[in-house]
């Protein structure tokens, strides 16, 4: 029986297949991938939120693999006028071979996957951003070797990226140290479940404690898309800014990662983002290869 390979969350894909995707991504990065393996295939991408990297890297990846791509904003579709995401999935899967959805609501993604006859890719929800994490793993391992030996420090909002790092700690076996203000922490149950699944996770409200001897320090915007900006949020997150003083607590050869877009002077100082330890531009470039690995896994 044919099973549809949806890429919804790291834990659904599982560690063995995630490693296969990363291997395939590396082949494409090093020019050893097949030429035009996705010729005749079409990707449809639906964006209910903004995107630079996801949209452009998937578009370029699909074209370089020989396929075609259609990018749609919510208002381009009848979903903007009330057609259900399930009906949209039923129809689109008669035309295209794979669908990506970026939406606030994880339930919409699941609904789309349940109604679609073709693979569905999570292009980010308020809960998780797994396609980004694959590029992050590639970037870490290119710089510092196996991520299973890593101590990763997360500093800032307990948002969708923090949650995805938590899922990655289960699948890739590294130590994760989460530092968030108590008001913006990840759900305690999520951390409990990750530990029960074998993750080595430490949660604190002290960024220095988290960053201590870390091999990689990660942060993300203080205000994720769709969330309310506010002085209160800035005030809570101010002590979690990744600056040179905080980076001094990490290993001397530690790297700094950020999924981007970044806000210099907020979650990260300009000197760290643009400094020698930052690998954020490689990380953004690796999105392209990660997307190729994901598309190949979904479609071949």
Residues labelled catalytic: 102, 129, 132, 220, 259, 287
Shortest spacing between CB 57 and ligand CP, in angstroms? 8
Under the binding rule (CB under 6 A), the answer on residue 286 touching ligand CP is no
Maximum separation of any 2 CA atoms in the chain, in Å? 56
Q: Based on CB atoms, which residue is closest to ligand NVA, 136 or 175?
A: 136
Residue numbers at the binding site for ligand NVA (CB under 6 A): 124, 129, 159-161, 220-221, 224-225, 259
Shortest CB 283 distance to ligand CP, Å: 9
Give yes or no for residue 219 binding ligand CP (CB under 6 A).
no
Three-state SS string over 35-68 comes to CCCCCCCEEEEEECCCCCHHHHHHHHHHHHCCCE
Closest to ligand CP by CB, 144 or 260: 260
> Which listed range, 51-59, 75-83, 174-182, 204-212, lies at the site for ligand CP (CB under 6 A)?
51-59
Q: How far is CA 106 from CA 18, 69, 103, 121, 223, in A?
A: 21, 23, 7, 12, 18
The set of long-range contacts for 273-276, using a CB threshold of 8 Å and a minimum separation of 24, is 275/244
How far lies 45's CA from each of 60, 67, 72, 84, 298, in Å? Answer: 13, 13, 6, 16, 14
| Count of residues that interact with ligand CP, criterion CB under 6 A | 8
Give CA–CA dist 124/131, Å, rounded: 8
Q: How far is the CB of 172 from ligand NVA (least distance, A)?
A: 20
Interacting partner of 161 out of ligand NVA, ligand CP, none (Cβ under 5 to 8 A depending on kind): ligand NVA
Q: Give me the residues that bind ligand CP (CB under 6 A), please.
A: 51-54, 124, 132, 259-260
């Amino acid at each position: 029986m044919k099973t549809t390979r949806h890429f919804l969350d790291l834990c659904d894909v599982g560690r063995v297949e995630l490693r296969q995707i990363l291997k395939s991504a590396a082949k494409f990065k090093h020019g050893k991938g097949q030429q035009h393996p996705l010729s005749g295939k079409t990707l449809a991408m639906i964006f209910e939120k903004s995107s630079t990297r996801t949209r452009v890297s998937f578009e370029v990846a699909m074209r370089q693999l020989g396929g075609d791509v259609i990018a749609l904003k919510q208002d381009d579709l009848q979903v903007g006028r009330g057609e259900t995401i399930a009906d949209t999935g039923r129809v689109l899967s008669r035309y295209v071979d794979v669908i990506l959805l970026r939406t606030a609501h994880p339930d919409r993604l699941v609904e789309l996957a349940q109604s679609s006859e073709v693979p569905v890719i999570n292009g980010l929800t308020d809960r998780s951003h797994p396609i980004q994490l694959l590029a992050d793993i590639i970037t870490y391992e290119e710089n510092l070797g196996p991520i299973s030996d890593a101590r990763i420090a997360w500093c800032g909002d307990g948002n969708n990226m923090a949650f995805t790092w938590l899922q990655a700690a289960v699948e890739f076996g590294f130590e994760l140290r989460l530092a968030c203000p108590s008001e913006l922490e990840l759900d305690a149950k999520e951390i409990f479940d990750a530990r029960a699944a074998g993750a080595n996770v430490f949660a604190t409200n002290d960024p220095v404690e988290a960053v201590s001897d870390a091999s990689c320090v990660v942060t993300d915007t203080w205000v994720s898309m769709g969330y309310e900006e506010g002085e209160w949020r800035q005030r809570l997150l101010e002590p979690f800014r990744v600056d040179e003083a905080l980076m001094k607590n990490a290993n001397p050869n530690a790297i700094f990662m950020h999924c981007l877009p970044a806000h210099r002077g907020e979650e990260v100082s300009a000197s760290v983002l643009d400094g020698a330890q930052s690998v954020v531009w490689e990380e953004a470039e690796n999105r392209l290869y990660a997307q190729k690995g994901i598309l190949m896994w979904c479609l071949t």
